[in-house]
Structures are given as structure tokens and as C-alpha cells.
């Protein structure tokens, strides 16, 4: 079979495994939708964002989109690759004549399909259940597209690279979910980024999630809210730069550190 | 006859500690070769070097005509590897796992035929997580043979099996060997090696102590038998090269039945334990069960 056919087969296999795992379906695929619904139900229509009234669903949507990007890419891959390395699946694959790149293409296919499906679901629920106003300009959707693409790509390579740190399958969920959860709290996913202490903002600004969230705010918030950003603007060039740097760093880390074998086993 | 596996003077150390020190080995086409040895003997290191998973420090290694260290995916097309650990892929069905593995081989066997051959045809649509240990291992073998390998590595394939499952598994492996596949088997079970292997190599302390057929291993066929019987309230034993004559003499003396007569030849296990006795890992166990350990070991060392 050709590489393309094997990669497609790997993607189908990855999707089957992903959607058969109840934990991953809930905690990465449905989680942003669940959280958005929760916030909308708790805070209703009367949220006050710096003087201008805004519905809770509208307020939290960019954060949920950004969180979803990292859950389906970074969290899914960091955990699944760590687990597959630990249980010997990677070594087994390496023992076959499968071209190694097919494995990564399968992971990319998984993330592409699951993250796009998640976004579609999240936006449909926001629009039709919680009556969130969607952007109407082409430029807003173009921004959505590149922030999403850069965010998912960076999350994908960083997730694969991070899996090496996760060690055993047992420690993987703690090592992956813990830090990502902290990052979500300080990156403007669950709290308004402007409301957290400056030193936390500076820590968050080192990581990609804050920039995805900021980029998504520029898509889903009214243009007038730009002035409430800590920087006073959406900082699109900075969003693109930081995410591109993380993507490049992730690729280098993958190339340098990826191993098919469990630590200590070879 | 060609030689799928050829090893000469293999050396490998980990952080300065030698694991394999000068192993020589030739495995013939179509044979089942069992590699035995205590844990830490260098068995896994040797096999993983043959499989192309580890780099060697010295020596010559040729597997299917190529150096495993530099051989590529075309070489892996001709190889089947059943690893020691058997986990993962819990969420896929038996058939999904085998079918997707089949896709990476150029000339795979038919998926359903392989499932039938390993006795998993009724489990084909079940998740692999629901399989028993023995069934899971048969799935591993299915994955190992789906690509029609010329050479199959089986690393401790029956660890944790119940006796019936082990018998069934042996039948499966014997069938593969009958079909001409060269098989390299590592195992801790002496009866398994005796059942399946054409030749056995015993590795300990990083060296190949001996290579022979199970029946001839360590001069086993020529060793003395032990005759024991009860006389005067105590069990008496006698080591002899002529047990039949000894029994006849005893029968004369007792005028018929000899009380509690037992004639024992050294089992493969006895021979194995005596061979590896000088190597610390199995010392305690060996000295308890093989009193004649030292002479045999010296013989081998020469």
C-alpha cells in the first residue's frame, strides 16, 4: 500500500480509538461545549465586561474555543502517545514495515478531524442554543482560520514532544492535565485575562494558549472591546509570531526527542 | 541451506557493564531455535540486536542477509516480531488490529485465514481488551505472521498461560515451523524448548554456553541415571550409567518387586540448571536441584 493509503488507514484507526474512549470524548471533545453551557446557565445574559453588557456565552466562547484547540491537539496527543509508548504499541509499530511518518500523519489526521468537528459543534451550540452573535466579516473568519490552524498545529507537535516528559501511562494524565488546567486558568480561558495578577499574565504570555485565546477574542468579541485588552489591541502580529515560534520549537523538540521505545527499555 | 541469522563475536555493554561478551550463533533456515537463559543473561539484548532495536558495540550480525543496524523497511517486510509485552490497542477489535497491520505488508496473508489459524475467528469482532492472556498472545502471533515472514521472533510467548493454553499454543507454533518459517524463540520454560525447538542455545553471563539439540544438550544423553528404592526403612539412591542392569540386580536381590523403585534420567531442566549454575542469577535454585552441577559446567567451559 502507498504511504497515503496507510496514513488514511492510521487516521481511521486513531479516530475509532479516540471516539471509543469515553474519557477522551468527554474531557477533550465535549468539554468546551459542556463548559460553555455551564457558564451560560450560571451567568446568563447579564455579564458585565468592563461596562458593556454581554451574554455569558458570548463572553466565554473565545476561551472555550481556545481551550478546545489545546484539548484536542496537545492534551489528546500528549496522553495517547505517552500511553502508546508505555504499553509497547509504538515499539510494535516500529517492528513492522510501516513507514514511521504514517504514524504521525495518523495523529495529524485525528487532530484535524476531531478539532474541526469540535469547533463546528461548539459554534453551532453557541449560535443556536445560546444565541451568540457570530462574526459576519470575511476577515474575522480568516483570522479564526489562521489562529485555529496555528494553534492546532503548535498543540499537535508540542503534544507529541511533551509525551516524552509524561513518562508512564499512569503519570501521563497528571503530568498532562494538571499543567494544562493551570494554563487555562491564567490564559484567559476561564477568567478574563485582564483580571488576573500581572505576573500571572506574564507567565501565561510565554505559552501558546494565551495567544490562541486572544486571537479568538478578536474574532468573537465586538471590535469595541479591543480597548479592554491588556495590550490595548488584539496584537495579531504577536499572536502569529508566538504561535509560529512554538510550532517551530515543537517540531525541533519532536525531531530531537521522539522515541519509539519506553525509557529504560532499549 | 541458507543461514537467516549469523552472529559472530557479538559484544554489547551498557554504561561500561558488559551484557553480551562474544556470542556466536548461526540459525538455519526452517529451524526452530530456542534461546534459553536466566534473567539478565544477555538473552533479550541479543534478540533485540537481531531485531534491529538495539545497536551492538562489536561483532558481526547478519539477519536475512542484512545488518539489522542499517536495514530498512524492506528488511522488516520479511520479518515477524512478537514482543515480550502484550498490551495496548484495547479499544480496537481483533480484526481491526490485524487488518490494519496487514496493510503495511506487501504480500500479507489473508486476515481471516490468519485469525482462524491462531484460533481467534470467533473473537474477531471483540475488543482486544476482552481477550484472555492466552488469546491476547495468539493475537500477537497473528500480528507477527500476517506479513508472511521468513523469520519470526517469539519473545517469551507463553508466559502466564495455563497448561491447556500452552499446549494449544505449541500446536500453533509447530504448525508455522512445519510451513517453513524460521523461528527464534526465547523462553523460560524448558518443556517448551524441548517440545518446539530443533536446537537450543543456552546463554548466561553474556556468553553462549552451549548450542545443541534438546536431547543432546550438555551431554544429557550420555549422563548417568539415578536409581532409587527403599531398603531397611530408608530411601537409597545410586547413580549409574547402566540403570537397566542395576534394576535387574535389585530385582534379583529382592526376589521380585523392588520397593518404591524409581529410575530418573536428567531432565532438560536439570541439565539447564547445572549449565547455568556458575552464573550468580540462578545459583541458589540450581544448587538445590542439581547436585552434579559443577563437573558438567566445567566440561562446557572447556
Q: How close does chain B come to A117, measured CA to CA in Å?
A: 21
In the predicted structure, residue B302 carries a pLDDT above the cut 50: no
pLDDT at residue B294, rounded to an integer: 30
Residues of chain B with Cβ-Cβ distance to A91 below 8 Å are 53, 83, 85
Instruction: Tell me what the pLDDT averaged over chain A comes to.
Output: 92
Between A5-19, A210-224, B262-276, the lowest mean confidence (pLDDT) is in B262-276
Partner B contacted by A237 (CB < 8 A): no
Say if strands B79-82 and B225-231 run parallel, antiparallel, or are unpaired: unpaired
pLDDT confidence band for A48 (50 / 70 / 90): low
Give me the residues paired with residue A134 across strands: none
pLDDT at B161 over 60: yes
The 10s digit of each residue's pLDDT in B123-150 is: 999 999 999 888 898 899 999 999 999 9
The beta-carbon neighbor of A91 closest among B79, B83, B106 is B83
Is A97 part of the contact surface with chain B (CB cutoff 8 Å)?
yes
Nearest to B91 among A16, A97, A102 (CB): A16
Task: With cut-offs at 50, 70 and 90, classify the pLDDT of residue A49.
Answer: low
The yes-or-no verdict on residue B104 having pLDDT over 90 is yes
* Chain B: residue whose CA lies nearest to A93: B101
Q: Which residue of B has its CA nearest to A18?
A: B91
Q: Does the pLDDT at position A213 exceed 90?
A: yes
What are the tens digits of pLDDT across the range B6-38? 999 999 999 888 999 999 999 999 999 999 988
Considering only alpha carbons, which residue of chain A is nearest residue B50? A95
pLDDT at B110 over 80: yes
Q: Which residue of A has its CA nearest to B49?
A: A266
Mean pLDDT of A196-214: 95
What pLDDT was estimated at residue A191?
87
Query: Residue A73 in contact with residue A151, Cβ under 8 Å?
Result: yes
Q: Which helix (H) or strand (E) holds A48?
A: strand A47-49
List pLDDT tens digits, range A101-110: 999 999 999 9
pLDDT value of position B124: 94
What distance in Å separates the CA atoms of residue A153 and residue A158, rounded to the nearest whole number?
8
CB-based contact B77 A97, cutoff 8 Å: yes
User: Chain A contacts of B48, Cβ < 8 Å?
Assistant: 266
Chain A hits for B100, Cβ within 8 Å: 9-10, 13
User: How many A-B residue pairs are in contact by the CB < 8 A criterion?
Assistant: 68
Asked whether B219 and B275 are in contact (CB, 8 A), the reply is no
* DSSP codes of every residue in B168-192: HHHHHHHHHHHTT-EEEEE-S-HHH
Tell me the C-alpha distance between A157 and A36, whole Å: 27
Task: Report pLDDT for B2.
Answer: 84
H-type helices in chain A, by residue range? 3-20, 22-24, 31-43, 56-70, 76-86, 89-94, 100-128, 138-166, 169-186, 198-205, 208-220, 236-257
The three cell numbers of residue B90 are 484495547
B153-163 burial by CB neighbour count: b if 16+ within 10 A, else e?
bbbbbbeebee
Question: How many residues are present in chain A?
Answer: 266
Name chain A contacts of B74, Cβ cutoff 8 Å. 97
**A2 has a chain B CB within 8 A of its CB:** no
Q: Give the lowest-confidence range in A55-59, B38-42, B158-162, B182-186.
A: B158-162
Residue A83 contacts B where some CB pair is shorter than 8 Å: yes
The residue with cell 502507498 is A2
Average pLDDT over residues A251-261: 93
User: Span B3-8, mean pLDDT?
Assistant: 95
Put simply, whether A20 touches B (Cβ < 8 Å) is: yes
Greater pLDDT, B156 or A52? B156
Q: CA distances (Å), B182 to each of A178, A261, B102, B151, in order?
A: 49, 26, 20, 5
Q: Say if the Cβ atoms of B76 and A96 lie within 8 Å.
A: yes
C-alpha grid cell, residue A120: 463546528
In chain A, what residues touch B105 (CB-CB under 8 Å)? 96-97
**A112-164: pLDDT as tens digits:** 999 999 999 999 999 999 999 999 999 999 999 999 999 999 999 999 999 99
Residue that wins the pLDDT comparison between A2 and B219 = A2
pLDDT of residue A264: 65
C-beta atoms of B104 and A98 within 8 A:
yes
CB contact A9 to B (< 8 Å): yes
**Residue B69 above 60 pLDDT?**
yes
What residues of chain B lie within 8 A of the CB of A20, using their CB? 91
Residue B157 has pLDDT above 90, yes or no: no
Predicted confidence at residue A98, as pLDDT, reads 95
Amino acid at each position: 500500500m502507498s504511504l497515503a493509503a496507510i496514513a488514511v488507514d492510521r487516521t481511521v484507526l486513531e479516530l475509532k480509538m479516540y471516539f471509543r474512549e469515553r474519557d477522551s470524548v468527554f474531557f477533550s471533545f465535549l468539554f468546551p461545549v459542556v463548559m460553555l453551557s455551564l457558564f451560560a446557565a450560571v451567568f446568563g445574559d447579564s455579564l458585565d465586561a468592563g461596562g458593556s453588557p454581554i451574554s455569558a456565552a458570548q463572553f466565554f466562547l473565545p476561551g472555550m474555543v481556545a481551550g478546545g484547540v489545546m484539548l484536542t491537539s496537545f492534551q489528546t496527543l500528549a496522553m495517547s502517545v505517552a500511553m502508546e509508548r508505555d504499553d509497547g504499541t509504538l515499539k510494535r509499530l516500529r517492528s513492522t514495515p510501516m513507514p514511521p511518518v504514517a504514524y504521525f500523519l495518523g495523529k495529524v489526521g485525528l487532530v484535524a478531524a476531531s478539532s474541526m468537528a469540535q469547533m463546528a459543534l461548539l459554534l453551532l451550540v453557541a449560535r443556536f442554543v445560546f444565541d451568540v452573535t457570530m462574526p459576519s466579516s470575511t476577515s474575522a473568519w480568516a483570522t479564526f482560520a489562521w489562529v485555529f490552524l496555528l494553534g492546532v498545529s503548535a498543540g499537535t507537535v508540542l503534544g507529541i514532544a511533551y509525551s516524552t516528559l509524561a513518562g508512564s501511562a499512569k503519570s501521563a494524565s497528571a503530568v498532562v492535565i494538571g499543567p494544562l488546567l493551570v494554563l487555562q486558568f491564567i490564559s484567559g480561558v476561564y477568567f478574563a485575562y485582564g483580571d488576573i495578577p500581572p505576573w500571572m499574565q506574564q507567565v501565561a504570555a510565554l505559552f501558546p494558549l494565551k495567544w490562541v485565546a486572544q486571537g479568538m477574542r478578536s474574532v468573537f468579541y465586538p471590535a469595541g472591546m479591543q480597548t479592554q485588552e491588556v495590550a490595548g489591541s488584539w496584537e495579531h502580529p504577536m499572536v502569529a509570531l508566538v504561535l509560529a515560534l512554538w510550532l517551530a520549537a515543537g517540531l525541533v523538540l519532536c525531531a530531537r526527542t521522539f522515541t519509539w521505545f519506553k525509557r529504560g527499555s532499549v | 541451506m541458507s543461514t537467516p541469522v549469523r552472529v559472530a563475536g557479538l559484544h554489547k555493554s551498557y554504561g561500561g557493564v558488559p551484557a553480551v561478551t562474544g556470542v556466536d550463533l548461526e540459525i538455519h533456515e526452517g529451524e526452530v531455535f530456542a534461546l534459553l537463559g536466566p534473567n539478565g543473561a544477555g538473552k533479550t539484548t541479543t534478540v533485540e540486536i537481531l531485531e534491529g532495536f538495539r545497536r551492538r558495540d562489536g561483532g558481526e550480525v547478519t539477519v536475512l542477509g542484512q545488518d539489522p543496524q542499517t536495514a530498512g523497511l524492506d528488511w522488516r517486510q520479511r520479518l515477524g516480531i512478537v514482543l515480550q509485552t502484550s498490551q495496548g490497542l484495547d479499544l480496537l477489535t481483533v480484526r481491526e488490529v490485524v487488518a490494519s497491520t496487514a496493510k503495511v505488508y506487501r504480500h500479507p496473508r489473508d486476515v481471516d485465514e490468519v485469525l482462524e489459524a491462531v484460533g481467534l475467528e470467533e473473537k474477531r469482532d471483540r475488543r482486544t481488551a476482552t481477550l484472555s492472556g492466552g488469546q491476547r498472545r495468539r493475537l500477537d502471533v497473528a500480528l507477527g505472521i500476517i506479513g508472511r515472514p521468513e523469520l519470526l521472533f517469539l519473545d517469551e510467548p507463553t508466559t502466564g498461560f495455563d497448561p491447556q493454553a500452552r499446549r494449544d499454543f505449541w500446536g500453533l507454533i509447530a504448525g508455522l515451523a512445519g510451513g517453513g518459517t524460521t523461528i527464534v524463540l526465547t523462553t523460560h520454560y524448558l518443556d517448551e524448548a524441548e517440545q518446539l525447538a530443533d536446537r537450543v542455545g543456552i546463554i548466561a553471563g553474556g556468553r553462549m554456553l552451549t548450542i545443541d539439540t534438546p536431547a543432546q544438550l550438555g551431554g544429557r544423553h550420555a549422563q548417568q541415571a539415578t536409581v532409587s528404592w527403599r531398603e531397611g526403612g530408608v530411601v537409597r539412591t545410586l547413580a549409574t550409567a547402566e540403570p537397566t542392569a542395576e534394576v535387574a540386580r535389585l530385582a534379583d536381590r529382592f526376589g521380585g518387586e523392588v520397593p518404591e523403585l524409581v529410575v530418573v534420567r536428567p531432565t532438560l531442566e536439570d541439565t539447564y540448571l547445572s549449565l547455568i549454575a556458575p552464573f550468580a542469577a540462578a545459583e541458589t535454585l540450581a544448587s538445590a536441584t542439581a547436585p552434579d552441577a559443577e563437573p558438567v559446567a566445567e566440561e562446557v567451559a572447556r
